[in-house]
Structure 1
Amino acid sequence: MYRKEVYVFQETTPIPAVVRNYREEDFEDLIAVQKESFPPPFPSELWWNEKQLRNHVGIYPKGALCVEINGEIAGSITGLLVDFNPETPLHTWDEVTDHGYITNHNPMGKTLYIVDISVKPTYRKMDIGKLLMQSMYERVVYDKLDRVLGGGRMPGYHKHAVQLSPEAYVEKVVAGEIKDPVITFLLRCGRTPVCIVPNYLDDKDSHHHALLMEWKNPFKNIR
């Protein structure tokens, strides 16, 4: 499976951390991470439930990772394998993840799709999210997959929606003129834009849009 021991930094102080597969005994802590990461008005029905988590560790445990610091779960990331056709990229989160239950995981798929990434607010200045994303990149390289893919929320968009289309908003984020909490983070993780996806998720702040973003395996020639 997967286990990586690293240091994260609390300001200038190195703190030991472990990235590992999450397990059934972590479920309660993982749900607590979700609640802290996505407080209302984010829909509470989109927080993980135990059946979803049991599917994650049972169907594709390679894609179920967490970061543990001093015995506490600081964050998690979840993925599944899918087929992806760049010619027809539009989809919803529910469609591609089976509402978070990942029963449509394709063991032969070459795209590692990010279902969710969440980090407790108290740990967000320690680059936990970037560490989790890098761990997924390592999975892509090790298993000789094509890419990491996923829809990034645009939670800052509602502040600019009167003046800017979703496409114009993304252009300004990529140009560095606007900082979006999610899209800017994903850019810093090495992800690049693919296209805007309307009606991706029930997300008022993003006006229900998402930016599909990918990280291509640098060891494969992928167009």
Structure 2
Amino acid sequence: MSETAIYEKSCYVFRDGHPEHLRIRNYTEQDIEALIDIQRECFPPPYPSELWWNREQLLQHIERFPAGALCAEVDGRLVGSLTTMITPFDPAHTEHGWAEMTDNGYIGTHDAAGDTLYVVDISVSPAARGLGLGKQMLQSAYELVIALGLTRLLGGGRMPGYGAVQHEVTPERYVDDVLHGRRRDPVIGFLLHCGRTPLAVVPDYLDDEESANHALLMEWRNPLLSLRGR
């Protein structure tokens, strides 16, 4: 599979017991306005609109790494997106910020010679939540990791419950509490359900008051690397 290969998958999701057709594919220039609308729905005011995807960013995703620019349609309506890039990664050096890693979302840092598929953004329209779209899109990204022979999928997960308790516990203790069932965190819990495992807490990852600017770096390792002699 080359970087320019087109990804497309069809399956079904269920809303109140009724099946609805899900299509996951690469997004194109024709999808840009709908993708920006999804960002608007996911991050309404007071979230600053300048932080939504803009046309130039989306064009750069399509040009630099088209295989890693995925979107989800339910019964023909665009309702979600997942943007990724490839980067080298050294597990001994985990600290980085989202803006630094992703070139502020323009993915100018995409490196086809890297070993890691990095999650730049995942968004699901509020009207389509509860259908399992986030998990389905991440599954598609795992398939891309395998197809490209990469080592892992990696991304910084928000810790939206941490900001409220930051004066009581360290971020590492907060994560440990979540992993041992003493606390719940919606994002970390979601990523655990999707098969991701924690690597390290990263400070100053993103301007995110709810997470006290912290993120939990989480990976999914390619289980088939041994078949490739790696």
Please state which band the TM-score falls in when normalised by the shorter chain.
Answer: over 0.9
Paired residues, number: 223
Deviation track 1:128-186 (CA, whole Å, cap 9, x = no partner) reads 00000000000001111100000011112122222221111111111222221211111
Deviation track 1:64-113 (CA, whole Å, cap 9, x = no partner) reads 00100122111100000000011111100011100000011101111000
Matches within 5 A, 1:67-78: 67-78=72-83
Q: 1:101 aligns with which of 95, 101, 106?
A: 106
1:41 Cα deviation from its structure 2 partner: 4.4
CA RMSD between the two structures? 1.5
1:14 alignment counterpart: 19
| TM-score computed with the length of structure 2 as normaliser | 0.93
Q: Letter of the aligned partner of 1:210 in structure 2? A: A
Deviation track 1:185-207 (CA, whole Å, cap 9, x = no partner) reads 11110000010100000111111
| Whole-Å separation in 2 of the counterparts to 1:174 and 1:27 | 37
| Whole-Å separation in 2 of the counterparts to 1:216 and 1:142 | 13
Q: 1:162 aligns with which of 159, 167, 172?
A: 167
2:3 alignment counterpart: none
| TM-score computed with the length of structure 1 as normaliser | 0.96
| Whole-Å separation in 2 of the counterparts to 1:42 and 1:163 | 27
| Whole-Å separation in 2 of the counterparts to 1:166 and 1:45 | 29
2:60 alignment counterpart: 55
1:90 alignment counterpart: 95
SS at match of 2:209: coil
Q: Letter of the aligned partner of 1:211 in structure 2? A: L
> Are 1:112 and 1:147, in contact at CA under 8 Å, matched by a contact in 2?
yes
Which residues of structure 1 form unaligned runs of 5+? none
Identity of aligned residues (%): 52
Q: 1:220 aligns with which of 204, 219, 225?
A: 225
